[in-house]
């Protein structure tokens, strides 16, 4: 076998390197370069056109809410205003009323509203409900700047229905995101600790700053108020919640009229869950009655003390046929009625179920 010359091997290596790296490099510049021709895209898709119209028709109704709080300076006793929080809201009517979340303005000393034209207006609180996480503000802006949002309905919503959220996430001016209704009838805990029932769950992107903004259907109507996100990091993770418009449209007029929600009640002091559990009560024990209140007039019995022994009162087990096992459950059932309505209250008395009609009164 003939031995290969090392010079031949070296030549082949050098020749290979020349082929790889030794070719002359063309200049990257071309003085005759021109823009490439544009390819016509044609008409926008129907769903794109609908999204554009929804944003165009509703973005002016969405406002930016900024709250500030007074704090004492670190090295002096002077009070200074510091940013407290930001969120979104929307124009409710031509009188300058703005709806937002209660938690956006809950601890604020002052609130400012920024409109679509970037003008800023000082807002005053009309009324708020911590239980529903809804607040109503008012500004003295001219009517030409006020574009009330279109009200829809939430009773006939369907899972899978397309929805749109408009707000100011992370302070970015008027952003629209889209998604679907992921679930209905959810419940989340409000800032007051009470559960908000019947919530809309959506996968439309809702981030900090979207709170208080509108959730719209494909017709551009308000179907909910974006309230919270479910996320370990605090940023959008695919699950957001909105208070249904049916609840908003019930609560907001009361806040405008009275500054608070006038709740229908029994006029009774009820045991909390811990006491009911300790007593082994399957229901809600009545501890006391407001004298001449609704429950007192209806003949319900309170817990009393006789000869040094505690005599348990009536135990409420149902409201209007719906079983209840907690104070929160009773309040939730009573919210379906108005002050003055007569409601059948079912109690357990001496081991026997008794139905008593109660005409509801106003409670704080």
* Catalytic site positions: 103, 133, 211
Adjacent-strand bridge partners of 196: 188
**What is the C-alpha separation between 99 and 192, in angstroms, rounded?**
18
CA angle 251, 252, 255 (to 5 degrees): 90
Nearest CA to 89 out of 259, 222, 247 is that of: 222
Query: What is the token pair recorded at 326?
Result: 């907690």
List, in sequence order, every residue forming a beta bridge with 70; answer none if it has no partner.
81
Q: CA-CA distances (angstroms) from residue 67 to 64, 137, 139, 149, 210?
A: 10, 12, 14, 22, 14
d(CA 107, CA 85): 9
Q: In the structure encoding, which two tokens stand for residue 142, read together?
A: 């001219």
C-alpha 304/C-alpha 301 separation (Å) is 9
Cβ-proximal residues to 78 (8 Å cutoff; 6+ apart), any chain: 72
Q: Please report, for residues 272, 304, 325, 333, the alpha-carbon distance to residue 317 in angstroms, rounded to integers and kept in the order given.
A: 14, 19, 7, 12
- Supply angle C-alpha 267, 273, 276, rounded to 5: 85
Q: Is 42 left (phi over 0), alpha (psi -120 to 50) or beta?
A: left
C-alpha gyration radius of the chain: 32
* Closest among 144, 218, 173, 214 to 66, alpha carbons compared: 173
Residue 112 CA to chain centroid, in angstroms?
A: 20
228, two tokens: 């919270």
Q: Which of 317, 28, 90 is nearest to 225 (CA)?
A: 90
């Amino acid at each position: 076998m003939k031995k290969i010359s090392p010079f031949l091997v070296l030549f082949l290596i050098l020749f290979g390197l020349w082929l790889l790296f030794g070719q002359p490099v063309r200049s990257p510049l071309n003085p005759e370069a021109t823009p490439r021709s544009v390819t016509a895209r044609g008409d926008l898709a129907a769903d794109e056109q609908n999204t554009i119209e929804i944003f165009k028709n509703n973005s002016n109704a969405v406002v930016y809410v900024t709250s500030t709080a007074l704090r004492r300076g670190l090295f002096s006793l002077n009070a200074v205003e510091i940013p407290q929080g930001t969120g979104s809201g929307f124009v409710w009517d031509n009188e300058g009323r703005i709806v937002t979340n209660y938690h956006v303005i809950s601890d604020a000393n002052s609130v400012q509203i920024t409109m679509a034209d970037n003008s800023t207006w000082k807002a005053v609180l009309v009324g708020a409900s911590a239980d529903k996480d809804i607040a109503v503000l008012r500004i003295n802006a001219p009517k030409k700047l006020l574009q009330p949002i279109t009200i829809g309905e939430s009773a006939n919503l369907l899972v899978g229905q397309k929805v749109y959220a408009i707000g100011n996430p992370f302070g970015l001016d008027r952003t629209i995101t889209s998604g679907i209704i992921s679930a209905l009838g959810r419940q989340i805990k409000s800032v007051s600790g009470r559960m908000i029932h019947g919530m809309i769950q959506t996968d439309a992107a809702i981030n900090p700053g979207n709170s208080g903004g509108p959730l719209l259907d494909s017709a551009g109507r308000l179907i909910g108020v974006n309230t919270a996100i479910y996320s370990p990091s605090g940023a959008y993770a695919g699950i957001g919640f909105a208070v249904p418009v049916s609840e908003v449209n019930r609560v907001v007029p009361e806040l405008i009229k009275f500054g608070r929600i006038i709740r229908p009640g029994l006029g009774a002091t009820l045991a909390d869950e811990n006491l009911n559990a300790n007593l082994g009560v399957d229901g809600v024990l009545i501890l006391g009655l407001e004298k001449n209140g609704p429950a007192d007039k209806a003949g319900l019995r309170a817990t009393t003390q006789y000869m040094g022994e505690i005599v348990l009162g009536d135990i409420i087990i149902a409201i209007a046929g719906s079983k209840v096992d907690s104070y929160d459950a009773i309040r939730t059932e009573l919210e379906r009625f108005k002050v003055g309505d007569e409601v059948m209250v079912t109690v357990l008395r001496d081991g026997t179920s008794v139905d008593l009609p109660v005409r509801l009164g106003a409670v704080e």
